[in-house]
Structure 1
Amino acid sequence: MVTIGLTGGIASGKSTVSKEFEKLGTFVIDADQIARALTRPQKPLWRKIIRYFGKEIQKEDLTIDRAKLGQKVFSHEGEREVLNKMIHPEIKKVIDKRRSEIGKNDPNAMVLIDAALLIETGAFKEMDRVIVVSASKENQIRRLMDRERLSVEEAQRRIKAQMPVEEKIKYADYVINTNGSLEDIRKQVRKIHGELEDIRVK
């Protein structure tokens, strides 16, 4: 089994890239999807987060309002660290379990782990290869404004709060640029997938 780590800045296009890998038969484990599942109402992690950050981050249906939580954690680095320490050990447990299950069922599988904080948490050390997804600041801001309905200032604050992509690239075996068309992204994915296939079958 070969395990690939996929990371990049906020709104850099990681999900688009992971979907293209999935189409080529790669098993994708999405850390953000795991986080959403772990923080559903009444789950132990949901209780911890509500207890610490307060009921004002809840929606009417008791789900966590990610926009309100984001405002809190992206405004205060200390709060962001608290949230990460709550969430990431639990996410890692689920990722490790899924990797193990995939490996048992298919020892020759290619597994891609899509995780925004792959570098920051040290999880990159467990990967066979690391891919960093890169986009221009302008594209990140535009995507964030469209997706999260943020102001320019809030989008810039969220980007600034994360490790610069230039720093992440130092850990990369491959870099995928998402400033171009979807077809351009597909070409980059297919090329890298082909090289990873060579590693997998050795």
Structure 2
Amino acid sequence: NGLAIQEIKDSFGADYISEDQSLNRKKMSDLVFHDKKALDQLSLIVHHYTLKQMSIYLDQLKASGEKVAVLDVPIPVKEGFLDLCNIVWNVTANEEIRLVRLQNRGMSIEDAKRRIMIQMTPAQYSELADIDIDNSYDFDILRKQVNQLLEDSLGARGLPYKKI
């Protein structure tokens, strides 16, 4: 979130900001996935600005007459994100699949395991959700699950939605 850059710079130092004034994602991830306090600090900063932007966006949608909005939030926060939602879907996959997917994105097995260990557990995510979606298979299966849930949740109530 570009709005958070100055606060990140103030909290972590200029080394974590690239020459183009964007977040140095590699350096920051090396820090926060080895230091829980740093992760918590970064999360506080980013969530503050993200929530502010999401609220503005949702207000604009509401003012334009939109009845449905989907928020793609990797880390739901009880106070804030969840307060904005009528229904929460948790998309998850088993740990083996998650590890493979992280490695396919260029991450070492050690870093992938560390990232998974520092995150909320699948049970904690599930506790926050109204619906759990298993993404341990291919994208076509996920798409079918999501489209069925859209139909069940929105279509059945006459609300507009687009299939994915």
Deviations 1:74-111 (A, max 9, x none): 1111111111121211111110111011111124x210
Equivalent-residue separation in structure 2 for 1:80 and 1:171 (angstroms): 21
Which of 140, 157, 160 is matched with 2:98 structurally? 140
Equivalent-residue separation in structure 2 for 1:75 and 1:195 (angstroms): 41
Which structure 1 residue ranges, 4+ long, deviate > 4 Å from structure 2? Answer: none
Gaps of 5+ in 2: 160-164
More strand by share: 1
Partner secondary structure for residue 133 of structure 1:
strand
Higher RCO, 1 or 2 (CA under 8 Å, sep at least 6)?
Answer: 1
Which amino acid in 2 is paired with 1:93? K
CA shift, 1:60, in A, is 4.1
Alignment correspondent of 2:134:
177
1:89 aligns with 2:52: no
Equivalent-residue separation in structure 1 for 2:32 and 2:85 (angstroms): 28
Equivalent-residue separation in structure 2 for 1:66 and 1:81 (angstroms): 16
CA shift, 1:142, in A, is 1.7
TM-score by length of 1: 0.71
TM-score by length of 2: 0.86
1:159 aligns with 2:116: yes
Which of 43, 46, 59 is matched with 2:5 structurally? 46
CA shift, 1:56, in A, is 2.5
Equivalent-residue separation in structure 1 for 2:13 and 2:158 (angstroms): 46
1:72 aligns with 2:31: yes
Size of the alignment, in residue pairs? 158
Q: 1:171/1:200 Cα in 2 relative to 1: closer, same or farther (>3 Å)?
A: farther
Gaps of 5+ in 1: 1-34, 39-44
Equivalent-residue separation in structure 1 for 2:86 and 2:17 (angstroms): 39
Which amino acid in 1 is paired with 2:16? I
Cα contact 1:119–1:168 (8 A) shared by 2: no
Which amino acid in 2 is paired with 1:94? Q
Equivalent-residue separation in structure 2 for 1:64 and 1:122 (angstroms): 23
Partner secondary structure for residue 69 of structure 2:
strand
Partner secondary structure for residue 75 of structure 2:
coil
Which of 86, 94, 107 is matched with 1:128 structurally? 86
CA shift, 1:120, in A, is 4.8
Equivalent-residue separation in structure 2 for 1:143 and 1:120 (angstroms): 27
